A and B are shown apart, each in its own frame.
Chain A
Amino acid sequence: MERTDELLMEAYRDGDGSAFPQLVCRYQNLLYGYLMRMVNNSEMAEDCFQETFLRVHRKAHTYQSGATFRNWIYAIATHTAIDTLRRNSRRPQTEPIEGHELLQPDAPDPSDDAAHNELKETVHAAIETLPPQQRAALVLAYYQGHTYAEVAEIMDCSLGTVKTHMSRALKKLSTLLPKGGVL
């Protein structure tokens, strides 16, 4: 019987070192994806990723039995990412998104890929203009699949605040994203 995240975290908090790698294993891609979308820079995302798990380790003793581990670790990751974004706000760093694989010979049309990547860049750039709180609300709710109530718990704010962040984020994006959508 596989242990739940919560049981693993409780075990780790209580001294079972073997639980930690399992938690890392379960959340590595989710968190890395989240952090990549938040900071849009692989180097910074990696730093945040390491920092997040370091904080998990350091704050293990504060983990309350019964708390949803997923929300708990996302809260840590969100704080880490927002801290990083604020630190780096004066020197924005962007880089092309991952996924620029070499074009295969049987690829339909190289120009389609180029256009596709260009659109992705546009979306990245648009999200990057959002203030950290709005960005976190959008990424958590839209990409990470959290409900607004969960986002509120993660961001330690009210549901109304989350909706306000989200509403403002969407409004800003609506001015930046092409109206036509995906061609």
Chain B
Amino acid sequence: MLPTNDRPTIQLPERRRLRAYAFDPMSTRLHGRVLTLDIPFERGLQPGPMGTLLQVVDYDATRHVWYHPVDLDHPALLAQGGMAPSERDPRAHQQIVYGVAMSVIERFERFLGRRFEWRGSQPLRLIPHAFEGRNAYFDPERRAVVFGYFLADENPGPNLPQQVVFTCLSTDIIAHEVTHALVHRLRRYFAEATNPDVFAWHEAFADLVALFHHFAFPEIVAAAVAGSQTELREADAILDLAKEFGATTARGGALRTAIDSARTPEGFANATEPHERGAYFVTAVFEAFLDTYRSRIADLRRIASGGTGVLPAGALHPDLVNRVTIEAVRNADRLLSMVVRAFEYLPVVDVTFGDVVRAIVTADRSLYPSDTGHLRGTLVESLRQRGIFPEAVTSLADEALVWPQPPELPGGGPLTLAGDPLSDLESLIVATTLDLDVHGESGTIPWKRIRQSLLAWSRTYADALGLDPGHPIAMTGAHVSYLTAADRQPRPIIVVQFMQRREDLEAREGLKGVPLRAACTVIARVDGLVEAIVPKPLPRSTPTTDLPESLRAFAEQQDEAGRKRMRAILEFARSVADDDPLAAWLTAPSVLRIDFARLHANEEDEPRPPTDSGRGQPAMNDEART
């Protein structure tokens, strides 16, 4: 910055340090550990905190009171890394939800290679003391993460009886719920249950991010590594981190069971409840992490043990702890980034775990073609052992798993965005680049023009995208991502999401408000060439007879896949209704009543640890839904 008034200006800091519990008040009390969150320094942060991405609204709906908002820019707080964690001061609570949420968002940005922005630039609301109740959940309609607080049971384990437990003080719960909100931003139709995997994926991903977020804190990992004392034999220290995660959150029950089960497909195959199903995915990723971690530290162990790999008894050398920690953290980052990046390659609607595997492989293969660390192979194998692999692929080799290229166009040319769409998208490419410069100001993006030219493009090529040219198409997202490739260079891609709601089919099937959506994700290089499409078709109503030969075969295949997909969606909706005790009484279809609050409320049967976020409210809020 330029000096003014003859005095040099003090540069604002780039980072803000805030303290939080590791990972909740209970474990901090037991271990004495406190986290230091290192997050971007938001300029113009108001009391709340209220920034551009997050608003902490500390209104207590049970007690009808506001709590004093924290001003993180107060000099005293800037000078000491924020407030010291305290259960008795609501401002410390506000700081913790803000800090953890920001750190999760920043990791997302890093993996996705672009600045995160909420839809319409409307900030996410965090409500740390929303109500008295054993629940915390993301509420898409309120665009808010709401945290409850409750009195501990008479026999609350390490907590004091009758003590107030705040869900907003658990790093894991905050990370989990904020991740739900992030996923909702990236794929809003994943809030529509169309198969047993959709919500399971939401849960699995939120757990995965929360679990791997532990590795964002090297001091915690180092303590775990050093705590394993003699041998590092089974990497128990790291496993214990996962188990501790299990012990402090409601989702933990299912996760603990999954971690303790054998690496066989049965558990996943029989699991129908979203947390349970999701837990197998989380476990498989975590096991892949452990496998690679073990091989990555084998050399360190040999170096430290005169070549035997058998470490001497007693405490580990601090340097070894440090090096092992670095490996663990780096490895965790690499695995989590594989999964987060896969988001760009996911379908727009109706996601399955099979789709997730294919998206992971497609994304990773384009960035790391040779898979030198064998990370991708290890992950695919670990998922396979758990029974998680796509249907209808010929093998689990990379080539079979990557998403297909679009069909050949009549005349033999490849599908490309070149022309009007690409020239309109150029401004988006520039804006994304400017956003990545922390001091830069982003340009204005001509969304209207981009949308129009992409929609015109989608109408022209609907048959090649698995969509029906006879029905309107909507564009539900377009962005540019700078993913990092093996050569450490950014590899920009354009991702566009198209969606087509088929009210004709809904009417034909007599669905009362259950949407039937076809969709296609298009992944293109910045020169416009479409590298992959991820279609989710529905039966066509437009005949294929007039299509040229090459497209006709593709369109017919999509139509067939669409019929199968629609049957599965209808069958799933029926099975949900059959099991729904409210189906007898309310007119709205049961699948529309599944949401995050209800999901978290389903954990009733679990023996409830003191800080879990069990019991909650099902979705059909009569005020909210009408």
Q: Is chain B a partner of chain A in the same complex?
A: no
